[in-house]
Amino acid sequence: MKQLLLLDKDEQLLRVDRVVKGMKAAGLDAVLLADNASKYYLTSRVYAGYIYITSGGKVICAVQRPVELNGPEVAYIRKPEELPSVIGVMPRSLGLELDTMSYNNVERLKAVFPDATIGNASAIMRVAREIKTDTEVEMIRESGVRQERVYRRVPHLYREGMTDIEFQVEIERTSRLEGCLGQFRISGDTMELFMGNIIAGDNADAPSPYDFAMGGAGMSPSLPVGANGSEIKPGMTVMVDVNGNYTGYMTDMTRVFSLGDISPEALKAHECSRRIHRELAAMGRPGTEARALYERALEIAREEGLEHLFMGHRQHARFIGHGVGIEINELPVIAPRSRDVIAPGQVIALEPKFVVPGTGAVGIENTYLVTSGGWTCLTNAPEEIISLR
Amino acid sequence: MKQLLLLDKDEQLLRVDRVVKGMKAAGLDAVLLADNASKYYLTSRVYAGYIYITSGGKVICAVQRPVELNGPEVAYIRKPEELPSVIGVMPRSLGLELDTMSYNNVERLKAVFPDATIGNASAIMRVAREIKTDTEVEMIRESGVRQERVYRRVPHLYREGMTDIEFQVEIERTSRLEGCLGQFRISGDTMELFMGNIIAGDNADAPSPYDFAMGGAGMSPSLPVGANGSEIKPGMTVMVDVNGNYTGYMTDMTRVFSLGDISPEALKAHECSRRIHRELAAMGRPGTEARALYERALEIAREEGLEHLFMGHRQHARFIGHGVGIEINELPVIAPRSRDVIAPGQVIALEPKFVVPGTGAVGIENTYLVTSGGWTCLTNAPEEIISLR
């Protein structure tokens, strides 16, 4: 038998308390969570089943699989209809993850709790997870250190005549050998992401079905994003945006490479991205509105005459940054209509990028920890465009 | 501008017609589909937005992203509330993918179609996609040929002293260089799968949170499946179950490797798996009940005194086979309570496996095409346990 809970007691209480606060604010007696991200946050383990939390802070882990988990909070069930027998007092109001749980699963649970008013637990969990605990920050920091190690090796992985996808495969291998877990949790209905993307030259301007900063045609219309198999050639940029998930917590970093010199316009845009990073990191003190950061970034791009290339050329992304943690797209969102406010403990991936026709994508992405004193960069590979030869 | 529809006209009509048949049987005027798998099936393209199909066979692709798609069926929308303006006559009854679409997205669409009765399109799509068209079969066949090439290279990727995860990374690289697209579409709420799994020795007996035949502790409690970093040693088996997605359509194949000899019991169980394959492939003529195949497999395992190791040891999987196609888990399901019936055009991954304590996982998985004449294997790598040294 193994203990289900892998978090130490204080850490678990801290996380449960955040969820309890959110459920009280929403007027809910309890939440019943099924998302892997939620279960991992609250137990540091992924299992099939549910976690049930009352506004009094009582936790019940209703487990379907795997066998042999143990602990005072563990109750095995075969199906959701058995939940009432393990939770005791039935809640009058119950939060479910209505943004991610399928319609039919919610309806099934409604029938299990016929007298409960149903509320939305998705927003509660997003807000609870927005501010990272010290333990979470350490796991993110570790992810950043290992991702940095991979990025420092990237220039040595290039061989003359390589295509973008061949280069990507060697970077993926290096990342996996460094301990990358492979899978990236992503929130949202139809977004699909493999390990990240390498985008060379004008492939950056191929519009994507996802709300990604850069597109790429992909290798197949079934996965229309990223590398398209074109050979890396002098004059192109090669944008490397391969995600870091080494600990169950992610960091996001992008760097740009080339074969020798690239156009002055692309160099200028790359430096503009770095300037946006410096200015926003200095400006983004706790209390700053996320949308003010977006507006300032756009203003800088405009000042430098690069607005038309900012966050895409034929198609533009609608954000320049996002929280990261257990999932690659958490709060806050740095976007024009965001209502988020910068606060200590947020971890933010900032990615002001440009697409320069004839050259490709430029700009960097870093993951920052917000503290009361300012932003700390967790992804410290060199920021200049590095030549691969 | 690019044509949205990548299927030729006859092929698209054939697929739309299957969906229309299902919607008529369910008494629906129209379906509105958002799953990437559904859009890919009906257009051979993935985009952000919806595909709307009426029982009269009219198709409208309501696209949010990417920009620049073209065709008589294409209408751009910014949000689902604009759907009525592009579909014309409002349906009295409408099918949505209630098994996969989030509760809140369904509620939002219900408000867009306030007068329509809502039905479930998920089952309609699963049934439509169960029987593959000739074009689909060719894409699956091609995936099998390329997966076979990768498996034939597997023995040459092993180096002395390797851990299971190091071996896995080299197999992943080989598969990616052969054209594997990386991402695997999987149906179901909380199942997560990277490129597949390598399971060495007793790690096969670590129970998994997923309904997988074999478990594996994984490298992190955040992704508790597959390789756990243990060194590959003499006497262990190494089960390689790395999925093939080379064309947007998948094949599923498992083979077993070792360092020299393994226990007689494990060898016997491996041969028993091969026997189950031979008998089921001969028995599975169109018209056979899927559950009869499951029962026969279990009977064979029992005859050979291996029932307690069949489909797991500490934890047992509840199926021995499943359809594959755009997703890795399609119809039919070869399981005790399955109501599916074998029919020409199904593509079935059969995976009778055993966990032998002290040795590891044995047994093979093949993907078969069902024809009126019988089952044709699409994954033809050698089936014996191959020594890596």
**Could you tell me the CATH number of the domain that includes residue B252?**
3.90.230.10
Q: How far is A248 from chain B (nearest CA, A)?
A: 5
| Chain A, chain B: beta-carbon pairs less than 8 Å apart | 183
Q: What angle do CA B46, B50, B55 make, to 5 degrees?
A: 115
Tell me which residues of chain B have a pLDDT lower than 50. none
Of the candidates A45, A107, A220, the beta carbon closest to that of B248 is on A220
What pLDDT sits at residue B268? 98
A268: alpha, beta or left? (left if phi > 0; alpha if psi -120 to 50):
alpha
Band the pLDDT of A194: cuts 50, 70, 90: confident
CB-closest option in A67, A166, A248 to B314: A67
Boundary residue ending a domain (A101, A129, A157): A129
In which band, very low, low, confident or very high, does the pLDDT at A210 lie, cut at 50, 70 and 90? confident
Q: Where are the alpha helices (DSSP H) in A304-374?
A: none
Residues A223 and A295 in one domain: yes
Q: How much of chain A exceeds pLDDT 70, in percent?
A: 99
Asked if A252 and A150 touch (Cβ cutoff 8 Å), the reply is: no
Long-range contacts of A374-377 (CB under 8 A, 24+ apart): A374/A281, A374/A282, A374/A284, A374/A285, A375/A281, A375/A282, A375/A284, A375/A348, A377/A281
Q: Do A23 and A73 sit in the same domain of this protein?
A: yes
pLDDT band at A215 (very low <50, low <70, confident <90, very high): confident
Residues of A with Cβ-Cβ distance to B208 under 8 angstroms: 65-66
| pLDDT tens, residue by residue, A11-21 | 999 999 999 99
- Whether residues A81 and A181 share a domain: the answer is no
C-beta atoms of A210 and B99 within 8 A: no
Per-residue tokens: B285? 């003529």
Last residue within a domain, chosen from B101, B129, B157 = B129
% of residues, chain A, pLDDT over 90: 93
pLDDT reported for residue A189: 64
A238 and A113 belong to one structural domain: no
* Pick from A44, A48, A100: CB nearest B221: A44
Give the nearest chain A residue to B47 (CA atoms).
Answer: A209
**How distant is the Cα of A287 from the closest Cα of chain B, in angstroms?**
31
User: Using a CB-CB distance cutoff of 8 angstroms, which residues of chain A are in contact with residue B189?
Assistant: 34, 101-102, 105
Regarding whether A348 and A331 lie in a shared domain, the answer is yes
Angle between helices A164-177 and A134-153 (to 10 degrees): 130
Contact A223 B99 (CB under 8 A): no
Q: What is the mean pLDDT of chain A?
A: 96
How far apart are alpha carbons B370 and B365 in whole angstroms?
A: 16
Q: Compute the C-alpha angle B234/B153/B175, nearest 5°.
A: 110
Least Cα separation, residue A56 to chain B (angstroms) = 27
Q: Quote the CA–CA distance of B246 and B233 in Å, as a whole number.
A: 32
Residue A242 has pLDDT above 70, yes or no: yes
Q: What is the CA radius of gyration of chain B?
A: 22
Distance (Å) from the C-alpha of residue B284 to the closest C-alpha of chain A? 31
- Residues in B closer than 8 angstroms to A100, CB to CB, are 102
Distance CA A356, CA A334 (A): 23
Q: How far is CA A76 from CA A48, A49, A106, B210, B215, in A?
A: 10, 9, 20, 15, 19
Whether B111 and B64 map to the same domain: the answer is: yes
Q: Specify the DSSP class assigned to residue A373.
A: T
ipTM above 0.95, yes or no: yes
Domain of A27, CATH number, reads 3.40.350.10
With CA atoms as reference, the chain A residue closest to B215 would be: A66
List Cα–Cα distances, A130 to A16, A32, A346, A374, B377, in angstroms.
14, 19, 6, 17, 49
- Strand boundaries in A4-43, DSSP class E: 30-33
pLDDT in the model for residue B318: 87
d(CA A133, CA A204): 36
Residues A266 and A118 in one domain: no
Q: Tell me the pLDDT tens digit for each residue of A68-126.
A: 999 999 999 999 999 999 999 999 999 999 999 999 999 999 999 999 999 999 999 99
* Contact state of B65 with A181 under an 8 Å Cβ cutoff: no
Q: Could you tell me if A269 and A379 lie in one domain?
A: yes
Burial of A8 (0-12, 13-18, 19+ CB in 10 A): exposed
Whether residues B207 and A100 touch (CB distance < 8 A) is answered with no
For residue range B223-233, list pLDDT tens digits in order: 999 999 999 99
Q: Where does residue A363 fall: left (phi above 0), alpha (psi -120 to 50 degrees), or beta otherwise?
A: left
* Model pLDDT, residue A184: 85
The mean pLDDT value for A197-220 works out to: 90
**H or E element: which one contains A72?**
none
pLDDT for res B191: 73
Chain B residues lying within 8 Å of A319, measured CB to CB: none
| Residue given tokens 């069926």 in the structure block | B73
CA B217 to chain CA centroid, Å, is: 22
Band of pLDDT at residue A190, cut at 50, 70 and 90: low
For residue B12, give the H/E element and its range. helix B9-25
Q: Cβ of B104 and A96 within 8 Å? A: no
H-assigned helices in B121-249: 122-130, 134-153, 164-177
CA distance, residue B383 to nearest chain A CA (Å)? 28
Is B145 found in the same domain as B117?
no
pLDDT in tens, A30-56: 999 999 999 999 999 999 999 999 999
Do A114 and A80 have their domain in common?
yes
Question: Is B142 in the same domain as B111?
Answer: no
Looking at A129, A146, A171, which one is the last position of a domain? A129
**Using CB atoms, which residue from B35, B96, B209 is nearest to A66?**
B209
Segments forming the whole domain that contains residue B285 = 131-387
List the single residue in B with minimal CA-CA distance to A122.
B104
Span A281-285, average pLDDT: 97
**Cross-chain Cβ contact B209/A47 below 8 Å:** yes
| Partner residue opposite A45 with nearest CB, options B36, B165, B221 | B221
Domain count, chain B: 2
Whether residue A207 is found in the same domain as residue A272: yes
Tell me the two tokens of residue A225: 């994003």
Give the best residue of B76, B103, B210, B314 to mutate against chain A (max A CB count within 10 A): B103
Question: Which chain A residue's Cα is nearest to B35?
Answer: A190
pLDDT for A273: 98
CB A11 within 8 A of CB A48: no
**From A193, which residue of chain B is nearest by alpha-carbon distance?**
B183
Give B240's strand partners: B198, B255
Residues B306 and B316 sit within 8 Å (Cβ to Cβ): no
Taking CB atoms and an 8 Å cutoff, what residues of chain B touch A181? 194, 219-220, 222-223
